Amino acid sequence: MIYKLNKANYEKARPLFRALEFHLTSAAVLDGNNPGLVMVDDPINPQSAFMLSPEGCYLAGRSDNDTFNRALGQAIREKQILDVQVEALWVICATLSWEEQLAALVAPLRPAKIARRHYVCRTLRHDWGAHLPNGFEVYRLDEVFLNRSGVTIPDHIKGWMEGNWGSTADFLQKGFGFVTLCATECVAWSVADCRSGDACEIGIRTVEQYRRRGLAAITAAATVEHALSHGFSMVGWQCSEDNLGSIGTAEKVGFERERDYNLYYVSLNGEE
């Protein structure tokens, strides 16, 4: 059997997800800072758990719970606990035993392994203001900017705020981000994915024709600077092993590689 855990009881599941706190969204969901869903084998004394978060899915606790695994696998394949429009899952496992169990859990779907890196920044090493090219300006992504006349906010920014935080209002209350403008066009933006305690995670996006100009590092550095000066002691960054652009940006800003891990892509259409 599987049960949807009531948010009031999320603390019961927190010990199961300790090993995944490097992927901070798992802790942020339990804190109530980010939207999510937690399924467990026992709502009173959970031993096995599955979490659906804005940044992926997590498997934690006992991996040898056959009853839970069968029920969860069926619920995933039949989209009983997923939006019908969801086409794929990104799964991160708390233990090697869960990684070994995943293929059986989602069969006949076949998970594909993707190597990932986790970076952490505690000290900013990029003077972004000194590298800002003429004709570009950096702004905080706040209510004033969102209502700025003449500037069109990209759908990607809107989706990021609403998807990760639940709503634009929740983002403005709990999150933060920065945008680089060229005239009235948003050409790069770095937005907080989540927060928990004195830690947060951010991401970056640059419009294709403006890449390789250092704008990603400038925008991300402005976001890190804000985080470290507003009560956060650590800023996280996640990227794929083959994403050289993201890796270069992170290391230029001052992020240090903390660990490697595996993410599993599961197409719900049976495609690899």
Q: What is the pLDDT of residues 59-113, one digit of tens each?
A: 999 999 999 999 999 999 998 988 867 899 999 999 999 999 999 999 999 999 9
Q: What is the pLDDT of residue 272?
A: 53
* Of 40, 74, 109, the domain-final residue: 109
Neighbour-count burial of 87, counting CB atoms closer than 10 A to its CB (0-12 exposed, 13-18 middle, 19+ buried): exposed
Q: Which pLDDT does position 271 carry in this prediction?
A: 54
Residues of the chain with pLDDT under 70: 84, 270-272
- What does the DSSP 8-state code read for residue 49? E
Is the domain of 135 the same as that of 57? no
Segments of the chain assigned E as strands = 3-4, 37-40, 48-53, 56-61, 88-93, 112-121, 136-140, 177-182, 185-196, 199-206, 234-240, 256-267
**228 and 124 share one domain:** yes
Residue 266 placed within a domain: no
The verdict on 105 and 163 lying in the same domain is no
45 and 156 together in one domain: no
Q: Are residues 178 and 124 located together in one domain of the fold?
A: yes
Report if residue 232 sits inside a domain: yes
pTM value is 0.94
DSSP 58-119: EEEE-S--HHHHHHHHHHHHTTSSS-TT--EEEEEESSHHHHHHHHHHHTTS--EEEEEEEE
Tokens of residue 116, six digits? 């990932």
CATH number of the domain enclosing 100: 3.40.630
Statement to judge: residues 219 and 124 lie in one domain: yes
Which among 60, 77, 109 is the end of a domain? 109
Tell me whether residue 149 is in a domain. yes
Residue type, 164: N
Residue 129: other Cβ atoms inside 10 A? 11
Query: Same domain for 104 and 127?
Result: no
Query: Within this chain, do residues 40 and 147 fall inside the same structural domain, yes or no?
Result: no
Residue 115 lies in a domain: no
Asked if residue 272 is part of any domain, the answer here is no
CATH at residue 245: 3.40.630.30
* Whole-number Å distance between alpha carbons of 228 and 238: 18
Whether 137 and 170 share a structural domain: yes
Same domain, 68 and 138: no
Give me 40's structure tokens: 């467990």
pLDDT number for residue 85: 79
Within a domain: 40 = yes
Number of domains in the chain: 2
Last residue of a domain, one of 109, 133, 158: 109
Asked if residue 83 belongs to a domain, the reply is: yes
128 and 103 fall within a common domain:
no
Q: What is the predicted pLDDT for the residue at 269? A: 81
Q: What is the pLDDT of residue 83?
A: 83
Supply the range of the domain harboring residue 67: 3-109
Q: Are residues 124 and 255 in the same domain?
A: yes
